[in-house]
Structure 1
Amino acid sequence: MTAKLDPFAAAPQLMKSWFATSNAANASLEPSLIELVKIRASQINQCANCINMHTLDARAQGETEQRIYLLSAWREAPCYTPRERAALAWTEALTRLSEGHGHGQAHEALRAEFSEEEQVKLTLMINVINGWNRLAVGFDLWYDHVPAKVAA
């Protein structure tokens, strides 16, 4: 696959700002939760680049193969915590806004597991990964990714 456009070359200052926003959102909640959210949104958006990147990062942080493989069926899988389930439901609700599904139940679960500040942080993270998905899918981006090292 050949990229249609390199957004970093086409709009370097804007992409630098976008990258800084992304990094700030990444640091907002526990890394394992953030990676699950990124993977799930990327699955919904069919972003192979981001699925590849974030499954590698999740493994590097100690995520199990089982939890990565079961993510697309998280509602039926017993291996996710109530907090993770709330985050995944919120991710799906926001990522699928155009499908017209209400997000009331997802919001109730979110409120039960996350403080108001954490709700904002998670919502911004979901916006960020959806933005990256749209850049990668829209411009046919593929980056060979080396997972981030976790400090011991």
Structure 2
Amino acid sequence: MKARLNANMAAPAAMKALLGLQTHVNGCGLEHELLELIKYRASQLNGCAWCMDMHTKDARAAGETEQRLYLLSAWRECPFYSERERAALAWTEAVTRLADGGVSDEVFAAAQAQFSDQELVELTMAIIAINGWNRINVAFRTVPGTYRLAGNKSGK
């Protein structure tokens, strides 16, 4: 696979704007582990290999188990995700797949039971951000496999 273009070089101001949203999301107060799960799940749905590579590495570095990462696409059938995580994952899927019928009242109620109004907006902003990154990386064919955690040269 060959990258089509480097978005950072082609439009640095646009990429800086998306990075600003990501910076806000990173400091919004939602649990880092939860954010990594929703980033990984949205990236699975969107087929973004670059982001899946990145967020599995980031999640593992934050202490996430390989079992939970391996089975994330089947989270509904697994007993090891909390109710808060389940609500966030259902919300992520619904917001990412708006063309599939939007966000149902049931999914909204489950999310509202686990998140304050502010948290639900912040969670939605996190989903908007990862969907933006996914679309850039998929559209321009960003080649996966080169992401490194800060200070890690091994690629793990």
The bucket for the TM-score relative to the shorter chain is over 0.9
Q: How many residues align?
A: 149
Give 1:11 deviation, angstroms.
0.8
Instruction: Verify the 8 A CA contact 2:91 2:103 in the aligned structure 1.
Output: no
Identity %: 53
Code of the residue aligned with 2:26 in structure 1: it is N
Q: With the length of structure 1 as denominator, give the TM-score of the two structures.
A: 0.93
> Hey, what does 2:58 align to over in structure 1?
57
Distance in 2 between residues matched to 1:63 and 1:84, nearest whole Å: 13
Distance in 1 between residues matched to 2:24 and 2:114, nearest whole Å: 21
Q: Structure 1 residue 134 and structure 2 residue 143: aligned?
A: no
Superposed CA deviations along residues 67-98 of structure 1, whole A, max 9, x for unmatched, are 10110000010000000000000000011111
Gap regions ≥5 residues in structure 2? 152-156
> Hey, what does 1:147 align to over in structure 2?
149
Measured on the aligned residues, the alpha-carbon RMSD in Å equals 1.3
Give 1:148 deviation, angstroms.
4.7
> Hey, what does 1:39 align to over in structure 2?
40
Superposed CA deviations along residues 30-79 of structure 1, whole A, max 9, x for unmatched, are 10000000000000001111001000000000000111011000001000
Instruction: Verify the 8 A CA contact 1:41 1:126 in the aligned structure 2.
Output: yes
> Hey, what does 1:84 align to over in structure 2?
85
Distance in 2 between residues matched to 1:126 and 1:119, nearest whole Å: 11
Distance in 1 between residues matched to 2:68 and 2:84, nearest whole Å: 15
Ranges of 4+ aligned residues in structure 1 off by more than 3 Å? none
Q: With the length of structure 2 as denominator, give the TM-score of the two structures.
A: 0.91
Distance in 1 between residues matched to 2:92 and 2:37, nearest whole Å: 10
Greater CA drift, 117-126 or 137-146: 137-146
> Hey, what does 2:23 align to over in structure 1?
23
Give 1:26 deviation, angstroms.
2.2
Distance in 2 between residues matched to 1:48 and 1:95, nearest whole Å: 16
Give 1:27 deviation, angstroms.
2.2
Distance in 1 between residues matched to 2:33 and 2:147, nearest whole Å: 18
Instruction: Verify the 8 A CA contact 1:57 1:148 in the aligned structure 2.
Output: no
Distance in 2 between residues matched to 1:148 and 1:62, nearest whole Å: 16
> Hey, what does 1:112 align to over in structure 2?
113
